[in-house]
Structure 1
């Protein structure tokens, strides 16, 4: 009977506490909800994007048993086709021309242009065959004419055309007018969002300059053939410029495009959840401190320690369940909003095809909810343990302020956690991801919070011997004498501040390094870039016209193409440019360029390329298109995460046989305005290429690149704002609860003659001091965590380095805001605590 009464009393006390302080409850729930929502939203958005991207890739690839692809967009010699068709075990081979293109026009949508042999494709990839519609094929009535094209439904929507209309398609540096003869055959499971254009293979080769070249071979296997033996025979028959591509390879390749980006966002979301855990700890600790007499009374009445511990953990469980449930709902809503605003890559620019469709994932929701509940329970354990171990008799007399100021707070747990964080930062990546780097950040965050009580007393102690006004002197002695109370308030401040500072320093360093890199990479006056010209760009005649334009003193042409080095890794970018005579002036080299041995073909690899493939200056490596080359230098590149290789233009042309160019950098005569030259450049381009041409001055390109950078880090900026808002709200809640818990202290001070104004100044001084301590400690810890992000997480994730740049105005403003918020909140809470009669405040001590 007594147990039932105690249980009812406990529930009544808990309900009363939550009704009396709803703000603290709301902050704790929101802290968990924000972390869960961010993690769940990042997961849903990336899952939707990957599913859409993989489905689009599957639609373009058709349903072949095995595919052979060229490693570069220029394709391979079509003589490979009969060799593959004669291999034992191959039932049929469908040769394919595959080009990236777009509809002509200023805002022309992107598409994939396929040239197929319908008779061969019917046996291998029937989903790629077009279906004629009525008289759309024209008067000749030939559905396989070289000027006939079949569009997918997504392509028809993008071009706003119907069967029978004429469309202008740009691909491989050429524009061609084609008649829409019908729609592509739709098979079950095909993605209706893939923009495809299919035409006869002979027409595609002739009209888009691919004569004698093929980009893909789709193979159907004979029944019962050994797949392993066939793949081995295929590998032996392929030239250096072709590779076998399996469905699982394509899936891994598409997933690896954004893996590091989405894992980093997910980890940042988990760090935000950890920060929420510290705020739950703060709220629970303050709630326990305020209710110590209640708990002591329950203990005297017969509640065991385990029962009290279970009650407080139950409160944490309720907070965790509420926060996790709200976080799952907010995460789904946030994912839907992000898909509409930023797209499936969260602004990272990894996916450009297909429309990502959001779907609710119950198991993922349960996983993130469980994380939120676990964080709430762990954060509630320490306050619950402290309440369970308190002596009831002492707690009944001392209220919420029991504690011996002579007790020294241990420094070693925090130092141990900080040391473990430093060691974790030195560990190598796991599975290509900086998992130890994020573990280091979590350990540093926990260590910084754990060492704060000792650090706060150590920093305040020297000031105690100085002469201060009475309110300030009382505030400093209070902070020195009650380090555990200061720790509760400081935990939320340090956690949120350090997280924000770490992300702000990393983003500022990254942005500044990118800006400096762009300034070094863009020394010319005007730049031309042809988009979607991987399989062919500006020919020799166009190059000559551009070089002869009035006002142009020099033109530097560049040819870029993606090259696949590994079947399950994204392509690297191979570029040919005038570089050998002065590589230091052409590329932002890291270190010097080595002398080239006689007869060797030199290349200069980007920093990500060197990182991913273990390359160093002086090595000799073999590239699929270029053969054996000598690594003469390494250069910094922030544009291509998976690597780039630069080689002399003449060596590039000799290796690939490609004489076209995709970029041009114009140096103008002194005093020549850029605008007339830009108009002349556009006029000199072949018809239709103007839609693919991007012509701009360096300042415009830098501004656009930085705008893309800011868009890709929009989620990070949002995390920064959320972190500081949670921190400020946590400061307000902590000081409010602490001040109200000291009502009897203020009443006794009033009896001794201290005026309310002096108590207000004491509280303001306490708040400002705690805000200063927490802000400075948070900034210092954030700077250390930023170095983990800059020196460990970014190199291991994206394979590039950067110089540290510190946002001093932001950090100074953050500390000032924390001091003002803490001081203001303490004063406002003190007014409430001092509003009652001073005699009533201490009546239970008589």
Structure 2
């Protein structure tokens, strides 16, 4: 009976304070929505990659790979003749474009594909004959065709390495509702070789091997070719983006953490507002456990409603985030087409559990506090505040302990990214527990300056913050966390952008650069015309050139990006080494004895100067000594650098991918740039010609695009926080109606009361901003020097921009002002007698 009356009283209270309940529901809904949106977007990306790899690989267990130029067809012929008992199939793979969209062109041999993939198993024998005999014909998935508005018999134009080819869609495969192989075009292997200009060459040979067939095949395989397990290679590719997706998930949990503060504030104010009611219920026979259960049940319902709303909002938000995630993955890692959202049940369930668990944990402390108070003292404000002040030393100790735990995790968790995020969250929670203990000190520090500026109103405003610490403490903590999150993420992004800009400025020593717009090969960048370097050197004003060749090689650590570079006299300044290098590094480098590796490659593979790397060459595996580790922010996969002339001799590849042009002194850049563009226009292949500053600007634009999703998450965290602060401060001011009425009754005018409440909320915002600066800086340090290094292998200095701090302080003041505006106006207009009677 008592329990039902408690629940009924709680329902009536929530109905009378509907705005407070709505804001709490909105806050938890936003937090759950952000977590679910990021989770669904990441899951969709991983699922799209897994489906594509599964369909492309089929029942393939191993692959034979070669160097940057691929495999000669003769190797497959020999394999079929000498190892006829093995299931094998040749594959040609390249990149093509239809309009602005990128596709993978897969060249297969239908006669060899039966043991591996079903994509070429067509019911019409005549269609199979057409695929084998017709030039420029291909297959496309029914899902992709529907999405692009295409059908069998249509012709499409493929953009392949800056040239175009018209092809016919001969048939569709798959189902229109299933996004299997979306983004993949399939053709006969000879057609693919023609389209990609890979005559007589293969990208790989797929195999389905039993364990007892692996060793004999490795012994048979000629030098310069490698047998690789398919699952291991696919896993290595998928792991490229794991760190990026983990970062997004952790940032989304920050929004849920802010939502948890909102639930805590809501439950706290609900308890404070009903202490008299709880005391009466206790005197009438309600037990502590019944009271505890009723409060938890109320907050659980709020959390459940917010979670359900958040699920729907999260699905809608995920559709908007999906293209940001896919674009970033395509920019940084591998090509994957993500055209539909994968509503994974485990992600939906995790969102529900996180929302409800956050609600219960956040409301447990206020519920427990309500059960510990004696019924005789529930109406005494002094008792409540005395209890709050007595709890400050415990909060201080718990906060310091939690931050100490975070320090231990950051220092002794080795390379674990998850433990790095655990350390970050320990610092955040620990610091937020310290905030209420620091509020009284700040109040005393600003009391006299504020009193001098605003007189009695200022004194009332400052003393009121400390006098009502049970209410102001949680509100300031929540606002501190929100501002600190904006500061921390802002410093991280700004530091990264500044470092990348400085690195590009040092790396791009040339004045003009020439390259091909994009490549059709996944193993090597598209080469420039052979005669181009000679013609460029003849142009007036050109002092010298540097050449580069970008390829992907096989190593003991998996695929690795290689830059074979022909250095000019000033190119050496483009390398900034981390730590010491081997003696006479450039002299040894020029002889081909050394290779240089980038910082991410060294970090991920635990390599140091003096260690060695093993690369697959046409003559077999060859060991190279590491002469130095240089800073590089172009890719978190890592990069190896060696002299181009030695690369050409070892891999028998004389092609050039990029050309850097260095001008003579006092030479006009625009004049030479026009001459270079005129020279490149004489070649059939369209070439990209860009000045140094244009490349810098374009690269920073790509950087900003890559971090767009981080900025979006930052804004979402701010949105969740603002709802929380609005709820907390409105409840704070409206719950003090009796105190305001007493001030009005003793002579305070409505204008003075409005000024006092507004000043108090602004001071609370200022305190939150001041307290958020150390936490924001601490978060940035952990993000930059712990999370960023473990996720991507990049190290960089912190860049503390004053503008970020000013923006944070301004946001705090605006949030506090807007949050206190409505209750200020309401209290100023309420008649004292009415407020006293209502209370």
Aligned match for 1:629, one of 621, 624, 632: 624
Shift of 1:645: 0.5
Shift of 1:451: 0.9
Distance 2:832 2:168 in 1: 89
The answer to whether structure 1 residue 242 and structure 2 residue 225 are counterparts is yes
The answer to whether structure 1 residue 470 and structure 2 residue 465 are counterparts is no
1:280 match: 263
1:490 match: 476
1:644 match: 639
**Secondary structure at the counterpart of residue 232 of structure 1:** helix
Distance 1:256 1:839 in 2: 67
Shift of 1:235: 3.3
Pairs within 5 Å for 1:476-625: 476-530=462-516, 531-532=518-519, 533=521, 534-535=523-524, 537-549=527-539, 552-565=542-555, 571-579=559-567, 584-591=572-579, 593-594=581-582, 595-596=584-585, 601-625=593-617
Distance 1:310 1:125 in 2: 58
Shift of 1:671: 1.4
Per the alignment, do residues 258 and 760 of structure 1 end up closer, same or farther by CA in structure 2, a change over 3 Å counting?
same
Distance 2:827 2:118 in 1: 79
The answer to whether structure 1 residue 49 and structure 2 residue 39 are counterparts is no
Distance 2:68 2:599 in 1: 24
Shift of 1:245: 3.9
1:224 match: none
The answer to whether structure 1 residue 428 and structure 2 residue 417 are counterparts is no
Per the alignment, do residues 311 and 126 of structure 1 end up closer, same or farther by CA in structure 2, a change over 3 Å counting?
closer
Pairs within 5 Å for 1:256-405: 256-339=239-322, 343=326, 349-398=332-381, 403=386
C-alpha contact (below 8 Å) 1:605/1:634 kept by paired residues: yes
1:441 match: 424
Per the alignment, do residues 333 and 344 of structure 1 end up closer, same or farther by CA in structure 2, a change over 3 Å counting?
farther
1:791 match: 785
1:90 match: 85
Give the total of aligned pairs.
Answer: 817
| Cα deviation code 1:656-692 (max 9, x no counterpart) | 111111111223451142552353243143x3x31xx
Distance 1:826 1:149 in 2: 68
Per the alignment, do residues 315 and 150 of structure 1 end up closer, same or farther by CA in structure 2, a change over 3 Å counting?
same
Of 460-469 and 769-778, the range deviating more from structure 2: 460-469
Query: What is the Cα-based RMSD across aligned positions, in Å?
Result: 3.6
| Cα deviation code 1:517-574 (max 9, x no counterpart) | 222222322222222154562353344344445554433221001224368x6x3210
Distance 1:344 1:661 in 2: 28
The answer to whether structure 1 residue 216 and structure 2 residue 204 are counterparts is yes
**Secondary structure at the counterpart of residue 495 of structure 1:** helix
**Secondary structure at the counterpart of residue 624 of structure 1:** strand
Pairs within 5 Å for 1:673-822: 673=670, 675-685=673-683, 687=684, 689-690=685-686, 693-822=687-816
Aligned match for 1:39, one of 35, 41, 46: 35
**Secondary structure at the counterpart of residue 240 of structure 2:** helix
| Cα deviation code 1:98-133 (max 9, x no counterpart) | 242436x9x476444555555444666574489999
**Secondary structure at the counterpart of residue 95 of structure 1:** strand
Distance 1:618 1:465 in 2: 63
Distance 1:762 1:587 in 2: 60
Shift of 1:839: 4.5
Per the alignment, do residues 756 and 94 of structure 1 end up closer, same or farther by CA in structure 2, a change over 3 Å counting?
closer
Distance 1:356 1:426 in 2: 41
Runs of 5+ in structure 1 lacking a partner?
Answer: 222-226
Shift of 1:369: 0.7
C-alpha contact (below 8 Å) 2:428/2:775 kept by paired residues: yes
Aligned match for 2:654, one of 636, 647, 659: 659
C-alpha contact (below 8 Å) 1:32/1:327 kept by paired residues: yes
C-alpha contact (below 8 Å) 1:739/1:826 kept by paired residues: yes
Per the alignment, do residues 245 and 255 of structure 1 end up closer, same or farther by CA in structure 2, a change over 3 Å counting?
same
C-alpha contact (below 8 Å) 1:409/1:483 kept by paired residues: no
The answer to whether structure 1 residue 9 and structure 2 residue 5 are counterparts is yes
| Cα deviation code 1:152-174 (max 9, x no counterpart) | 35898979797596967746x9x
C-alpha contact (below 8 Å) 1:33/1:324 kept by paired residues: yes
When normalised by structure 2's length, the TM-score is 0.88
Of 473-482 and 313-322, the range deviating more from structure 2: 473-482
Of 663-672 and 364-373, the range deviating more from structure 2: 663-672
Distance 1:41 1:65 in 2: 34
